[in-house]
Structure 1
Amino acid sequence: MRRQSALPALAVASTLVLAACTNASEATAPEAGETTAAATEPSYDVSTVEKVDEIAAMLPADFDGTLTVGDNLQYAPAEFLGGPDGQTPTGYDVDLAKALGRVLGAEVEVSHAEFASIIPAIGTQYDAGIASMSINAERLEQVNMIAYISAGSTFSVQAGNPKDLDPADLCGTTMGVQTGTIQDEDADVLSAACTDAGSEPIEVLRYSSQADVTTNLVGGKIDVMYADSPVGQYAALQTGGQIEQLGEVTDAAPQGIAVAKDDAELTAALQAAMQHLMDDGVWADILDTWGVSGALETAELNPAV
């Protein structure tokens, strides 16, 4: 569930999360200095991933040895600017790109781009796009897409669910969302369903940054947080377990690695490398490092959606 439009320029600091999935509207990045109760930045050590000669041999004869990846580094925990200097490409998609490079015996160069500009540049400026792109019919007309993760929406509550909330009945609660997100729109639908059923409406509190939503859940100002599943799961990790997921992931859909349609050899090599990382458990381990679920087991090419 990746946004359709790109975010504004990133304000880097010790932010918890940078954005959630948006629809037609744009989300706003947090201001510099926003934090929550805990903010440690995980990373996966890809140095243990070894080259697979048979897969590396699948690369095009004219491959120059560097896998160039287009990314929109404004969507924690998948891809954002972090590290000691706040300027280093970081996140589970970045870790994945590096792991794919290890399997292929290639250097990896991750470059920031506006989200909407990535797919048009596949095959010219970038070899691939790994940017939490939902697989849909429009994108499948433009590029090949290799499925690698399933993401949706989740509710989160304070650890232990002290108010004993039921994800199937959140009527009468106070719900926090980030403005401009899918969940921002859905919260009103959920509230309307409550009033239609004769129950108390949901009080929806909207915040300009996901960090603010998380902070207010930890502090008890809101009862429940509604966000993208990777965002909510990462928030639980970053707060040291002060919040937890309520219920299951809803509206889950696959995301894919984008490769040029006319580059069958590179597509096949990346698909084989992705499947290898799945089979070896590396991909699941990368997501575990970031506190995120949703790893797929099959690197399906251009799945029906």
Structure 2
Amino acid sequence: MTASTTRRTTATSAKSRIAAIGAIAVAGTLLLTGCGDQTKDKDAGSGTASTKNAPLADKLPKEIRDKGVIRVGSDIAYAPVEFKDKSGNAIGIDPDIAAAMGKQLGVKFEFENGTFDTLVTGLRSNRYDIAMSAMTDTKDRQEGVDSDTGKKVGEGVDFVDYFNAGVSIYTPKGKTQGIKTWDDLCGKKIVVQRGTVSHDLAKAQAKKCPKGKTLGIQAFDDDQQAQTRLRSGGADAGSSDFPVAAYAVKTTGGGKAFEIVGDQVDAAPYGIAVSKDQTQLRDAIKDALDAIIKSGEYDKIIAKWGVEAGAVKEATVNGGK
């Protein structure tokens, strides 16, 4: 889709490799719980790091090193990337990667829950030190441009890229109505999370649909609300990043609610967003990510969540197109 400044992912017009949906079964017993509050999850990504023994502690800015905490803005309702368990603790790919990096840096990554489309604003206002929330690295985000209008809306952010993901369409199980591609959605209704690539793709597709075959778009604050609407029969299809769609297919209704249709599209990197003026923090995070990739800890985390197809071989700064 055309890149918006509030989306999780971005369009690069390339199909990504499809990870085995069944592999995500390792997390199948976890509930798809979520919330939209602005409270801190002080246990998330904490690990047992301390600056005394951390090999990369001196890479961090002194004020963060002294605090011992990196504040992470995240929409913690996007399983399996980040979501809450039955006890309300943040779990998933992002918290696990953050905890591993925290051991390298000697700090705790403290996840703070917020709606996705406010995370970049939270960086600008210094509410968060970083944003880590399945956010796609895009040129528009790097430059602070609203892709819908082409207008500059901020100074932009830098990204440390840590994962690759595409976008998938899913439908009620056994009710695909012949949907395989975005063109097949004309004349139907789709549910999406507001401000995501899926939302952008839906808007772009709606403009292509012929008269008499309007694409109805229902956008929600979080992905779980969209899934609930689809499951209740209020729409024909939904769209999310592949890891999220695959997890929903595997876990919702005991695996009997949804099915993925067609191939992934728009493969692009997820990035950890850092303010442009925080280059030392950005580089410290890059070094920490490279360290856990080299040690093998990163691959263990990716395998734990069954999304090996999205793994990266090295940390990259601003690799999005």
Q: For this structure pair, what is the TM-score category when the shorter chain's length is used for normalisation? A: 0.5 to 0.7
Change (3 A) 1:128 1:224: closer
| Residue type at the aligned position of 1:237 | K
Partner of 1:170 in structure 2?
A: 184
Relative to the length of structure 2, the TM-score reads: 0.62
Contact 2:191–2:227 (8 Å) recurs in 1: no
After superposition, give the CA deviation of every residue in 1:244-302 in whole Å (9 maximum; x if it has no partner).
33233222332322335455543333112112333445435434545556333221123
**2:292 & 2:113 partners in 1: Cα distance?**
24
Partner of 1:234 in structure 2?
A: 247
C-alpha RMSD of matched pairs (Å)? 4.4
Gaps of 5+ in 1: 6-19, 24-36
Contact 2:169–2:239 (8 Å) recurs in 1: yes
| Residue type at the aligned position of 1:204 | G
**1:270 & 1:259 partners in 2: Cα distance?**
10
After superposition, give the CA deviation of every residue in 1:86-124 in whole Å (9 maximum; x if it has no partner).
4x33443222222210222333322345424332245xx
Contact 1:157–1:223 (8 Å) recurs in 2: yes
Change (3 A) 1:163 1:75: same
Work out the percentage of aligned pairs sharing the same amino acid. Answer: 25
**1:234 & 1:60 partners in 2: Cα distance?**
37
Task: Please give the secondary structure, in 1, of the residue aligned with 2:286.
Answer: helix
Q: 1:146 aligns with which of 152, 160, 168?
A: 160
1:95 and 2:86 aligned: no
Contact 2:93–2:301 (8 Å) recurs in 1: yes
**1:214 & 1:97 partners in 2: Cα distance?**
27
Partner of 1:266 in structure 2?
A: 281
Contact 2:5–2:140 (8 Å) recurs in 1: no
CA drift at 1:155: 0.8
Task: Please give the secondary structure, in 1, of the residue aligned with 2:31.
Answer: coil
| Residue type at the aligned position of 2:239 | Y
**1:304 & 1:213 partners in 2: Cα distance?**
27
Partner of 1:40 in structure 2?
A: 31
The structure, 1 or 2, with the larger RCO (C-alpha pairs under 8 Å, 6+ apart) is 2
Change (3 A) 1:150 1:175: farther
Q: 1:295 aligns with which of 311, 316, 321?
A: 311
Partner of 2:213 in structure 1?
A: 201
| Residue type at the aligned position of 1:72 | S
Partner of 2:259 in structure 1?
A: 244
Contact 1:67–1:127 (8 Å) recurs in 2: no
Point out the more displaced range, 126-135 or 154-163: 154-163
Gaps of 5+ in 2: 11-27, 34-43, 144-154
Q: 1:276 aligns with which of 291, 298, 301?
A: 291
Relative to the length of structure 1, the TM-score reads: 0.65
Number of residue pairs the alignment of both structures matches: 270
**1:302 & 1:179 partners in 2: Cα distance?**
24
Partner of 1:106 in structure 2?
A: 107
Change (3 A) 1:294 1:201: farther
1:117 and 2:130 aligned: no
CA drift at 1:178: 3.0
- When you count helix as a share of all residues, which structure comes out higher? 2
Task: Please give the secondary structure, in 1, of the residue aligned with 2:132.
Answer: strand
Task: Please give the secondary structure, in 2, of the residue aligned with 1:268.
Answer: helix
Task: Please give the secondary structure, in 2, of the residue aligned with 1:76.
Answer: coil
